[in-house]
Chain A
Amino acid sequence: MKKLLWFGISILGAASLGDIALARGEAINSLWLVAAALCVYALGYRFYALWIAAKVLVIDDTRATPAERFDNGLDFTPTNKWVTFGHHFAAIAGPGPLVGPTLAAQFGYLPGTLWILVGAVLGGCVQDMVILFFSTRRDGRSLGQMARDELGPLGGAAALIGTLAIMVILISVLGLVVVNALKHSPWGTSTVMATIPIAILVGLHMRHFRPGKVLEGSLIGVALLLFAVASGGWIDHHDLRTLFDFDGNTLVWLVIGYGFLAAILPVWLLLAPRDYLSTYMKLGTVAALALAILVMHPEIKMPALTRFVDGTGPIFAGRLFPFVFITIACGAISGFHSLISSGTTPKLIANERDIPMIGYGGMLLESFVAIMAMVAATVLDPGVFFAINSPPGVVGQGMDAVTTISSWGFPVSMEKMQALAADMGEKTLFARTGGAPSLAVGMASIFGNAFGRGLLAIWYHFAIMFEAVFILTTLDAGTRVGRFMLQDLLGNLYKPMGRTSWYPSVLATSAAIVASWGYFLYIGVIDPNGGVNLLWPLFGIANQMLAAIALSVATGILIKSGKLKYAWVSGVPLAWLSFITTSAAWEKITSSDIRIGFFSAADNLAEKLSLGKLPPEKAAIAPKLIFNMQLDGALTLFFVAVLWIVIFEMLRVSWRKAIGLPVPPVSESPHIPSRLVEDWVRD
Chain B
Amino acid sequence: MKRLWEMIRRLSGDDAYERYLAHCKTAHPDRTPMSRKAFFIAEQERKWNGVRRCC
Q: Which A residues have a C-beta under 8 Å from some C-beta of B?
A: 71-75, 77, 79-80, 82-83, 86-87, 91-96, 142, 163, 170, 174, 206-207, 211-216, 218, 267-268, 271-272, 275-276, 329-330, 334, 336-337, 339-340, 343-344, 473-474, 477-478, 480-481, 484, 500, 543
Contacts and interface: CB of A to CB of B under 8 A. Distances in A.
Given A174-B55, A214-B12, 10 more contacts: A73-B24, A74-B43, A95-B55, A212-B39, A267-B44, A272-B47, A480-B48, A481-B51, A484-B49, A543-B55
Nearest to A334: B55
Contact of A339 (B40, B49, B54): B54
Contacts of B31: none
B27 to A, nearest CB: 7
Contacts of A77: 19
Nearest to A543: B55
Contact of A343 (B10, B14, B39, B50): B50
Contacts of B11: 83, 86-87
Contacts of B1: none
A397 to B, nearest CB: 31
A275 B14 contact: no
A83 B16 CA distance: 13
A474 B55 contact: yes
Contact of A91 (B43, B44, B45, B54): B54
A80 B4 CA distance: 12
A540 to B, nearest CB: 11
B36 to A, nearest CB: 5
30 contacts: A72-B23, A73-B20, A74-B43, A77-B19, A80-B10, A82-B7, A86-B11, A91-B52, A91-B53, A92-B54, A211-B36, A211-B37, A214-B13, A214-B14, A215-B12, A216-B14, A268-B40, A268-B44, A268-B45, A272-B44, A272-B48, A330-B54, A336-B55, A343-B51, A474-B55, A477-B51, A477-B53, A478-B53, A481-B51, A500-B49
Contacts of B17: 212
Contact of A212 (B16, B52, B54): B16
Main secondary structure, interface of A, reads helix
Interface residues of B, number: 34
Contacts of B14: 212-216
A214 B13 CA distance: 7
A71 B23 contact: yes
B40 A211 contact: yes
- With a 10 A CB-CB cut-off, give which of B37, B45, B54 has the most chain A CB atoms: B54
Given A72-B23, A272-B47, A477 B52 contact: yes
Nearest to A171: B55
Contacts of B16: 212, 214
Interface string B28-46: 0000000011011101111
Contacts of B10: 79-80, 83
Contacts of B23: 71-73
A89 B51 CA distance: 14
Nearest to A276: B12
Contacts of A218: 12
A86 B7 CA distance: 10
B40 A337 contact: no
A340 B54 contact: yes
Contacts of A142: 50
A73 B27 CA distance: 9
- With a 10 A CB-CB cut-off, give which of A211, A216, A339, A484 has the most chain B CB atoms: A211
Nearest to B25: A73
Contacts of A170: 55
A96 B40 contact: no
A474 B52 CA distance: 9
Given A271-B48, A272-B47, A474-B55, A215 B8 contact: yes
Give 6 nearest A-B pairs by CB, closest first. Answer: A73-B23, A96-B55, A211-B37, A215-B14, A339-B51, A267-B48
A207 B53 contact: no
- With a 10 A CB-CB cut-off, give which of B20, B22, B55 has the most chain A CB atoms: B55
Nearest to B35: A211
A163 B54 CA distance: 12
A212 B45 contact: no
A207 B41 contact: yes
B30 to A, nearest CB: 15
A75 B46 contact: yes
